[in-house]
């Protein structure tokens, strides 16, 4: 039964996701597991809360700041091969979150994932609602990848990849395929698609017995991977770009842009300001 019914309420999983405590899916799992209480009663899916509601997660009260006091943030990160997209790993492997700056309200949430052998662009935000909308299939946000194939696909195979191939989890296809050159048996292509099923790009090529020897995500929606961003390095989007990203998925632009018309140099400087992680690889420590 819903905890509150007035017009100033929101669903609890949406409120907690927006505060960056987790994704909507994660929070719904917490509710099912009995980890969340509202006004001392176990929460259920669909419960609504208002400003007076007392929310507890694992027995600890969650203190939520009004949204106007929390600046929506988005990072872009050039993920190297070998890192995994999870907050912790029982096997002790390096995670992408180890290289990100501290966030003072909530936590960083990844907008989509890349498998351990895929490199390139991955975004993070402290706003769970933004992450949810960016990943939801209904948004139909294009993902672009640079793919190196071992072998030379025929025109018939390329057409088949665009027309559609039956995978284990249903039909899949690329929206576009562009040749990108190559030498010998290694050929590069740029492909795009509007969904993010697990290892979908690799599985499409493998369905035609074509081996993917390298896979790099180079664009997600309106955000491109800057050529100047080294592997293992993050960059924070400026407020104007964050507002643009939010509006592209139907959210209000809440960040205050201090300069109404900054020159390109200042915008570029803010967009690519970054913190390098220290590594045994000296190129990361320059």
- pLDDT tens-digit map of 20-45: 787 778 888 899 999 999 999 999 99
Q: Rounded to an integer, what distance in angstroms lies between the CA atom of residue 172 and that of residue 182?
A: 26
In the chain, the DSSP E strands lie at: 10-11, 36-38, 41-42, 48-49, 55-57, 60-61, 74-79, 109-111, 119-125, 143-150, 165-167, 170-172, 176-183, 186-193, 211-220, 223-224, 234-236
- For residue 273, pLDDT beyond 80: no
- For residue 280, pLDDT beyond 80: no
What residue has token string 């992680």? Answer: 277
Assess whether the region 10-64 and the region 142-220 belong to the same CATH fold: no
Q: Rounded to an integer, what distance in angstroms lies between the CA atom of residue 110 and that of residue 87?
A: 10
pLDDT band, residue 103 (cuts 50/70/90)? confident
pLDDT of residue 235: 96
Give the mean pLDDT of 7-19.
80
What residue has token string 């800057």? Answer: 226
pLDDT of residue 13: 84
CB atoms within 10 A of CB 34: 11
- For residue 230, pLDDT beyond 60: yes
Dihedral sign for Cα 277, 279, 284, 286, please: positive
Among 1-15, 85-99, 109-123, 246-260, name the one with the lowest average pLDDT.
1-15
Which pLDDT tens digit goes with each residue over 151-162? Answer: 889 999 999 999
Question: Which residue numbers are catalytic?
Answer: 115
Q: Is 187 helix (H, G, I), strand (E, B) or coil?
A: strand
**The listed CATH number (3.40.50.620, 3.40.920.10, 3.50.50.60, 3.10.290.10) that belongs to domain 10-64:** 3.10.290.10
**The listed CATH number (3.30.70.20, 3.30.2350.10, 3.40.50.300, 3.40.640.10) that belongs to domain 142-220:** 3.30.2350.10
pLDDT of residue 269: 36
The domain locations on the chain are 10-64, 69-110+223-285, 142-220
pLDDT band, residue 255 (cuts 50/70/90)? confident
Q: Is 142 helix (H, G, I), strand (E, B) or coil?
A: coil
Give the mean pLDDT of 158-172.
95
């Amino acid at each position: 039964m819903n905890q509150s019914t007035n017009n100033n309420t929101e669903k609890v999983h949406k409120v907690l996701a927006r505060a960056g405590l987790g994704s909507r899916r994660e929070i719904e799992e917490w509710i099912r597991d009995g980890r969340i209480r509202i006004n001392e009663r176990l929460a259920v899916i669909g419960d609504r809360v208002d400003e007076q509601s007392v929310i507890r997660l694992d027995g600890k009260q969650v203190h939520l700041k009004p949204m106007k006091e929390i600046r929506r943030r988005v990072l872009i990160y050039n993920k190297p091969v070998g890192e995994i997209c999870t907050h912790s790993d029982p096997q002790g492997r390096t995670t992408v979150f180890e290289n990100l700056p501290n966030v003072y309200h909530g936590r960083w949430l990844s907008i989509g994932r890349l498998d351990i052998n895929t490199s390139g662009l991955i975004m993070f935000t402290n706003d769970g609602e933004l992450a949810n909308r960016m990943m939801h299939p209904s948004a139909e946000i294009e993902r672009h990848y640079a793919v190196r194939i071992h072998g030379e696909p025929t025109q018939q195979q390329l057409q088949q990849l665009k027309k559609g191939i039956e995978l284990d989890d249903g039909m899949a296809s690329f929206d576009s395929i562009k040749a990108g050159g190559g030498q010998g048996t290694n050929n590069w292509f740029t492909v795009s698609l509007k969904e993010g099923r697990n290892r979908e790009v690799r599985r499409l090529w493998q369905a035609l017995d074509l081996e993917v020897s390298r896979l790099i995500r180079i664009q997600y929606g309106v955000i491109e991977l800057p050529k100047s961003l080294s592997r293992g390095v993050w960059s924070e989007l400026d407020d104007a770009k964050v507002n643009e990203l939010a509006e592209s998925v139907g959210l209000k632009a809440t960040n205050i842009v201090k300069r109404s018309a900054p020159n390109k140099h200042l915008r570029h400087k803010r967009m690519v300001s970054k913190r390098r992680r220290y590594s045994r690889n000296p190129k990361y420590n320059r």
